[in-house]
Structure 1
């Protein structure tokens, strides 16, 4: 048996494109392993350098004996083997060798790994060499007048005048440009500048533009492009190379109603579709469609429009009342997440539970004690920074943890503290009950101070929110939810006629309420069984019947 140190010989038939068949490979196993390890380490170094910040790294791809292959077949074979989509820059031949450039380290690395994995039509293996290089000189060169004219003609064919839409999808592979050897890569500043110039001069009324599949890794050029077309409403950026959602910040000033981002690496960073939609909508609040799908309407909060508040007191009242109706409509629902749209990005929130001289766990306020903020009683110096919530994400995260509620809007007492054309401060107090509470004493009193600024469509945007909760007094409890308030008397049910007693038993059995609450409901409706049943059904559907009514 041959020794493991024996010389390896290449017994393959024919030859490949690396050595031309002129000599056989003779390598000792250890030397071959060392060479492969060294090459892998070198490739990784170049890859990570290319991914780093600062100046963009370029790579020259060389294919020995590549001239004998058809260009279309060669690029297609490389694309099939390469794990990432690419567009070759400045494809050309020199002697029998093919050269082109790549400006993405990950793509260059993937191409190098395709070496000797592709078999040509005659059975020869294809060699792919990759070498880092400085930016080619032609990258910073502006297009010639002839090339600009060709580009203008190409864009004219892609323009739909009836829709004011321009389709620049995969513009770099357009046959009209490739046959003239015009390298049109929109991630190159010179190419994007040429496109911007043509749009600005000839079609500034664009309403839609498709920039998909153009290897865009940043949006600096797109930001400049959009500044030239103020009427633009739809933008397609799908299947590009956008890696972080922060790139979208560059486009925040533009009033887009349709946006496509699918196929970009940034889309994989979100844990679910809801988080993805929320992140995009924060930057484009007027967006109606994302990736071709209609977005659900925002519940209750305007974010687009005027930037000042009305001075007339009547208008201020309408503004506050509409805001509170919308706010508590969401707050009392099963999902408080839409409250994100009511708060400013840098809003703050503090919470206080008031239980003077009482143990919070025994006075029904135990659920609130943990998050209660009282600077005078805080023993930990750093606790105030944890209890004072900043940014709307942390504010709504805390609101989601508070008990589910139902507020009695009829009990609201509203006071406007101060207002100007840029800010508004008002206080609202009243009574609510905890929907999920197992305690008979589920009613609470609250006071809330809102400081708000104008939202962009005439609504309010909260910048500071201070909430105080305490146990409601007996008087407030009796006055709350008057449509189904508890009876004033705590004594036994008064004597009724035999007929009414029979009706009372039947109503209690069908409604599930105890006799005391059933009697109250029948009396309020003048012992009209059908009317009382109808009122009960409606109030129960609205959640306005407290749990105590069902305790027997």
Structure 2
């Protein structure tokens, strides 16, 4: 990474793996003076940016190898002299900035807090005054974001489609300049890799358009595309105008009460479990499963067992699960049974990450709450999913997942025990799976509730 100031440049190697905001906040915590990074860029495996204060440059140089990353590895910082960055050298004149600001105000919808900059380089007011605004040029993007910060601080939606943008280092500053943006339209540009999108991690996007960029055709299937984008923006609900997840209204869910006289649970508990499951499986299907680390207790346990519909069943499509199978009716080696029991959350999530990519049918779920105390919940989830990648693509599975949850010191739900039982779906289940004619609801079986949960 390079830090440049007053002709003094700096660099941190292997910086590509670091999130921009995380790194800047870390460096800032070690500096006695505040600084604003200029032209923050990811170049190969390094990060480069400039600072405009010599004292800051010296302080950054002095903490070379003195700070550590999240993996406890020392961070190297190199400082060297250099020219001023392009965004400063080719900075727009005050007159050009004024013209650009007027043009942008015409394109701003006050009621929707929406800024429409599609093909801004062809804006007639700019063309008539001989002003070239190419948003792939760092100086132009910097000027645009400066105006957004000063004049449209509450911006919610930004459209920069069809501007021949091929790298997103400049646009990554949107995180600081307009942190409230929820909708971003990048369609029709020249973005080639997901790595460019990762530069904007931290932006709380709900809607994103990417169609027409080369990166869209770089994936084997749509599921891989969605998964990669969600890894960058986990709060995304719409991609290229399409809703990613089914709409489930927890206020209209059907509640099955097999023993009405023993039903003593609260609506809050039901909603709590449903929200927990929705969040878990949306990450499991569409996000990076490594993100599930935060869902597990440090000393949690996980086991997987395969069951069979008949002795003549073709089990070849389940071979990806066999290496983790702990079916004790068939596994006689006690040492191996213990080895297959996954201890510690890192081992659990590593195992889950290696399992085939899936799409769960949320509307097939039946959730059965078995035991509830003030400090623990035990419940099971039955449902269907299909594999969406690999040689068993399209195969439908039936599963039962039993979870035991407790609350940590921050009153956050975490999994201490997780058991998955898996089998091939029956022909009837396969016909019903992912049926568009079925109602958008979940069946929740709630029974044997023993006391009121007091978690927050």
Please give the TM-score of this superposition, normalised by the length of structure 1: 0.41
| TM-score for the superposition, normalised by structure 2 | 0.48
Q: Rg: which structure is higher?
A: 1
- Which structure carries more strand by proportion? 2
Structure with more of its chain in helix, by fraction? 1
